[in-house]
Amino acid sequence: MILLERYSLGFLLPGIILCFACIEKVPEIKKTIEIPELGLVLNYEGWIYEEYDPNRDSSDSSRSKKKREFSSDKHIKVMFYLFEPEQNKGSEIRTNINFVSEPIPAKYSKATLEDYVASISGLYSNIYKEYEILSVPQKCSFGKEKCIFFESKFILPNTAEKKQIRTLQWIFFKEGYVYIFTGTLPESEFSEKNKKILNTIQTLTEKI
C-alpha cells in the first residue's frame, strides 16, 4: 500500500529548510526533550534546540516558493529541530535532526512501516536527483515504540556543483499518526558526524 504523495513529501524538506523560520528555545538546564506523543525522552547534548515558527514566513520575501508552500502545509507539524552549534564553511546545509508528524489519511490506516518506506522511496526518486536508499530498512524499537530505520542520499537541488546529502530516518506509526526523526547532513561530513546523529537518537528512552 502506498501513502499519498503529498503527505510523504514534507518529511524530507525540514532538514533542507535550515533555521529560517525557527526560534531558539532552551527547555530547562537539562539537555532533554520530552516527546509525549511517543512517551519518550531525548537527550540533545551537543545540539542547539529550536522550534519551527510558521508565522515568520509570511513576511519573509527572501524564502523560496517551495519553502513557503511547505510552511503553509497544515497537515505536517514540525515539532522541533536540533542544529549543530556551528555550520562548516563551504557546506550548503547545517547538520541537523528534525522531528515532524502528520495524520495518516483514514484510507491508508492499514499501511505498514514497510509500505511507507516504499512510498517515499518511489516519490523521492522522482523529485531528487540520484535519490537512493543506501541500507535495507531495519526494524527497531525505543521503549515500547516500534519503528523502522533507513539511510538515503540525493543531490541537493539548485546548486552549481553536485552536492550530496545524506539522511537517516526513524519512522514511527502511532494512533493514526506518523512520526519521523530525520538526521540530515552533507555527504562530505558523513564520516565525521554520522555517529553523533546515531548516538543522539539512541538516547531515546521511555519517560518515567
Residue 13 included in any domain: no
> Which stretches in the chain have pLDDT values below 50?
1-4, 6, 17-23, 27-28, 57-72
Q: State the CATH number of the domain containing residue 107.
A: 3.40.1000.10
Please give the pLDDT value at position 145: 95
Residue 160 resides in a domain: yes
Number of domains in the chain: 1
Domain assignment present for 60: no
CA 140 to chain centre: 17
Query: Considering Cα of 84, then 42, then 184, then 186, what sign does the dihedral take?
Result: positive
Q: What is the DSSP letter of 104?
A: P
Residue 158 belongs to domain spanning: 32-53+74-206
pLDDT for 19 equals: 40
Give the C-alpha separation, 13 to 72, whole Å: 13
